[in-house]
Structures are given as structure tokens and as C-alpha cells.
Amino acid sequence: MTRDAKWEALFSLPRRAPESGLDQEHMDMALAIQQVTEEAVMRLARTARALTGCRNLTMAGGVALNCVANGKLLRSGMFDRIYIQPAAGDAGGALGAALAAWHIWKGNERTPLPEGALDRMRGSYLGPEFSPADVDRMASRHEAPYTRFEDFDALCDTVCEHLAAGHAVGWFQGRMEYGPRALGGRSILGDPRHPEMQKKLNLKIKYREGFRPFAPSVLAEKVSDCFELDRPSPYMLLVAPVAEALRKPLPEGYFQKPMFERLYVQRSTLPAITHVDFSARVQTVHRNTNERYWRLINRFNEREGCPVVVNTSFNVRGEPIVCTPQDAYRCFMRTEMDHLVIGDCLFSKDRQPAWRETEDWRDEYELD
């Protein structure tokens, strides 16, 4: 989406072709664009603060999904509270239209939030939900064996064992998320302590460049133990530094090394979610909005002493996040994911029949 001649005349740098090498000049360009974006966001925020005198800020629009800028704005102390709509891009217009009709056209008054609620988004779990019968039909169609757990705690124990063994687990529960982030309804999970987890998820499951970072899901009660963050971040829209206590000393000459050499240095005890600058894109998990996900992470913490799991969206690069059990099983079988949990059912890759494709599925979607 560029005019190549004008781009090259302005930047003295040819447009990078898809799947071509990522050089230092491309990284410098990305950093410059991010810095300009952050400056624009900060100036707009200062102006809004000066004009209104308000200590609270609500953000929406596509740029409000820029987690790094959001984190810096929060840490600036300019506002006491910042709220970012989880479907802040174009999709949020549907919600805005519905609210406008309800309050403006219909004239309905606002009511107080339910006790303990952060907002009215219900954790952003507003999408479709599927029944055990839907899962049974999908499994029957593919002759896919699975284990159904009557006790959810036992399922959590089994999943925790797989995570601790370095396995990647597809986690499909309840209603789908509304917005661009996977928040524990349609997620792929891993152990953040595993030094190879970032590379495994990127190269063998997401099929994308190995440098791309992953986000941590952390128990809301433990967020300040792991990150320099003193408030909820339920929609994965804030970047915060990893806590000093979890950081590891950097090797001599670290900042002089090329980016790809720095990438796989273990910077903390949670290497799979710690970016090169010690930051992380944090999701706090709350029992009152996603009890099953909270219980899984809580059990992982009880067993392993780690209140964090790696959370990435349940899809491959360029593909929409899975919605249905059929979508989930197809993604599971097309990748090197080890296990899939749908509701109370556990599918393990080594028990599944061979998956047959009639064409190269990686050509179905344009890569991002």
C-alpha cells in the first residue's frame, strides 16, 4: 500500500518485499515510525488534559491498539486512569452504534456497574459459544479420539503437566473474544519459562518470523509481582516492564550486538514473554470474567510457582482467529501444536488420524 517511487525518494530505502530479509535499516524505520506515533499520542493527550482538566482518559480508534504508546502514556502520570476499548479498531463501531441507539435514540439512562466489574464488556467474551454436542459432531466427522474430563480440576492438572513439559496447547473455551486480541477464549498457550518456547510457537505453529514476541496472561492478583504495573490490563492493551526481581544480568556488549543475536538472550526468568527491552504486553486474568482460564493459570501457579502463561491467538499467520470447533481442530492438525482443549475435551496430536490436505493451505490467506 505504498507508492514505491515516492517512498524511495523520501526515505532513500526501497520498500521491503514480503518474506524478504529484515535488515537493520528496516528496524530503524520501524522504530522511527513508533517514536513519531508516540509523540503524536502524547501531544494529543496533553492537549485533552489541558482543555478538559479531566484526570481520566478513554481511548478508541486503531492507534489505541498501540500497546507500547499506551504503556508510556500510563507511566507518564498524565492521567490517573486510562480506559481502552478492547475492539478499538473499526469493529468497535458496531458497539458504538448500538450504544448510541440505546442511550440517544431510545433515551435509556446509564446504570451503575455491577459489583466487582471493571466495565460492561464482560471481559470482551461476547462472541459465539458452542455446546458439547458441537464438539462431538466435529470429532465424529474427523474420527478424532479425545478424552472427556468430568472434573475440570483434573483437566487443569493434565494441561499444566503438558505446559510444564514444553508442549503447546490450544485452548478453546466459552464465548469467542470481541476484538483483535485472544484473551483465553481462543488461545494457544505455552510455558513462559521455557527458553525455546518463543521460537517454537513462531516457527512451528504460527509459521512466522522467530523474532515476533508473545504476550503473558497473568493472574490479576499477581500482576505486580511479575510486572511494573499496578492496575488491571484485561484486554492486553498495555506494555509494562518485567519486574526487576525477575530480570537476569545481560551479557557484556549486549546492546552492541545485532538485533537477532540479542533476541534469544535469556533476559528474565520468563524468557518467552520478555521483549529485548525487558517489556511485555500484559493481560491480567480475572476470575469474574473468565473463571476457567483463571483456574488453569492458578493451578499452574500452585504446581509450578509461576502465575503466568504464554498466550497467543489461536490461528496461524494471516488467518483469522479460530471461531468454531471445526476451525480449532483444523488449525491444530495443520500445525505442530501438541494438544487441543475444547471445553472439557482433550485432543492429543499423537492419537489423531493423519490429516490430509488437497492443496497448500498456506496459500489461503495473505500473510501479515
pLDDT given for residue 364 in this prediction: 67
Query: Residue 367's pLDDT is what?
Result: 60
Distance CA 93, CA 286 (A): 26
Q: What angle do CA 223, 225, 226 make, to 5 degrees?
A: 70
**How far, in Å, CA of 218 to CA of 216, rounded?**
6
- pLDDT in the model for residue 254: 87
Residue 317's pLDDT is 82
> What pLDDT, on the 0 to 100 scale, is given for residue 359?
66
What pLDDT sits at residue 211? 73
User: Could you write out the DSSP letters of every residue in 326-346?
Assistant: HHHHHHHHHS---EEEETTEE
Question: Which residue reads 510486572 in cell numbers?
Answer: 227
Regions of the chain where pLDDT drops below 50: none
The confidence score (pLDDT) of residue 124 equals 95
pLDDT of residue 15: 87
C-alpha 257/C-alpha 268 separation (Å) is: 18
- pLDDT given at position 41: 97
* Cα 83–chain centre separation: 18
The grid cell for 126 is 461476547
DSSP output for 215-269 = EEEEEGGGHHHHBS--S--TTS-EEEEBPGGGB-PPPTTGGGS-HHHHHTS--BS
Q: How far is it, in rounded angstroms, from Cα 83 to Cα 219?
A: 19
Residue-level pLDDT at 305: 98
pLDDT at 260: 79
In the chain, what are the domain boundaries? 24-110, 124-249+262-363
pLDDT at 368: 58
Q: Measure the CA–CA gap between 243 and 226, rounded to whole angstroms.
A: 5
Cα→Cα distances 236→145, 212, 286, 365, Å: 34, 16, 13, 25
Q: Alpha-carbon distance 253 to 141, whole Å?
A: 56
Domain covering 124-249+262-363 in this structure, CATH number? 3.90.870.20
Local structure of residue 109 (DSSP, 8 states): P
What are the beta bridge partners of residue 340?
A: 170, 347
pLDDT for the residue 357: 78
Helices (H), 129-210: 132-142, 152-164, 197-200
- CATH code at 24-110: 3.30.420.40
